[in-house]
Structure 1
């Protein structure tokens, strides 16, 4: 029996794929750095072996799946190629694996992870399914009818896939270390659309997506009346959002989601549209109301009179949406943004846009830029952003206790790096008579 060896198994996509193969009856192991990541908890629960990186891990009879973060000169990858082992990059293997299912790719500059999780939840209440979510969650089932997965546009990796369906949430300029312009991003999505076999579910409120040309049917969803699936009569409460759905201007049904903000309504509409297209009944699609969320997407915790929110937002548009969701859910509370920019390239490209979005909070704290070892900072520092944001200060790991002065507020910890360590340090500072414990490798 083949053993699949994952190089970089703690990565979010890699961890999820390893879980899927394990659940499907395959033998799985992997390697990574020894620093602990949240993704390894479930791997350990499933008794999936995790080894420290070493070329000695690579032996005959292994099939290798390498994470996209690792170059060809990585010792394990070099050894695998020397031995002539069967070798895949993550996106290459996923492209092969999904062919055995009715596959649904979730693509978009923003909202991929939340939408993938939401669709997997709703379909999974009716069918045996497999899914791969970008928060490190994956599930396989030997009798799966559907395979729902997150399809990332970075370096055009999603062009390895030929899905039956694609949900496209939006097109926006991001990953400026790879894409040159919004036109370059659009070109990637157009190429993706050309590879879809049955149908595309696209947000009609997005101007870029309106221009997509496809050889398969395109169903549009959104808040405007020109869409095939439209949300109307939106009512928000602290517990979530209710809205009516009209299909081609005819009332279909009323749905509830336990989230806030128009971005979450749009995500839900995309799920309703694909499920309707596949013939599911409205009563089954209403499983939307029991969705528990995905990791690091408006994940809440109450500490005394404060609400602490952990969120992956790392682009100005995502920050705006997250702050808006907090205001809608907690209209009487102040909103405090604690933000760690991710990569010097993105920070430099969107410096003013970051300032504009963060200015929507009542107060802002900025952590040092989480840069890549492969990047040149170009002398950019967090102070360059701080100068542009009113009511802002810088924050380091040793002075998180300053956040305690924001009583009865929502504190949103945002970023794609290791912003969680700032939230953890703050929570530990609130423990009575206990010092802040600095984590190893924090």
Structure 2
């Protein structure tokens, strides 16, 4: 099937093979199309350490993957996604997502996509299937000058410096960009649904439709981030999923909605009413119990913690509630058949694979252990006396590193590699000015 795609697209002269590293950065190679069959059949190779680079693309200084092991290769094979076009490039090209295995064929535990596969397999072993949807928030930014600002509208020729929540005018100002973006989503088979303007300066949100394949849902989110950033540059400005580019405006989140189906296709969270089942409560309990220890997953960068402040539309207290957007975990209203959990902690700057692993892993652990959550909150969570999500990067790194619960969700190798990466970034980010930090995060996350 993969070879047939290229034969149906003879205009494609080069392909990119790419895997997600721990920061969600695509790492891979550019390959002439005439050698594509070999990549499809045999895979490609690069060092295991490449999926464990820091945000600058540098080796981790004390990583055992580099000198201690001779910087050994992994084998990277195509995912089930296959080839897809890269509409943001001027020359016809194709992207082939890949993931990493060891020489003997075992999955490489340091690969974020393999981490999600392991959690999905835990669900499968219990006859369960997660159904996932994501809300992707991002900023359109003119970064050509010293200070970031909203781009000039190609339609009006004006630069409107205002937040315009749910403004049709703001969407129409960048209509050509959004039209091309939706066309590209269709070409890449990314299920982009509703677009809205958000509360930040030049901030927008596009929902990705619910999917009963968690691997595909994470793929969609990862590919969508690559596409949005590439398409924005094609239109002459930048797009960024960084958590908080502007001090005076809300940051970008990546909210995840999920339910769970049993072997008969029935939603195990649905009790026929608004409250939800015991399984829903236990899944919420697991998410809350893991929240402090997994904060590093949801806020993985220095800039992430600028978003995690009270009153800025990002949760800071560990709590849940029905139809309450100030809570970290929200149970939306609506049809009982679609009863689900919304996890609202993650910033737009996360690695979707690691984020979804943490959320689904915590929920399943809660179901397995029968974890009872505290009472759901009512009113403003920011005004309540609640246990708090770690407020600094260093606290979050330490919590993730020493957590017993994270060991039930992630492989030891991924925990070690992620912690080493974040400690190195913490050290070197401290040497940079705020502007230098923004510069590196703008294009990477």
Common fold: TM-score over 0.5: no
TM (normalized to structure 2)? 0.26
The structure where strand makes up a greater share of residues is: 1
TM (normalized to structure 1)? 0.26
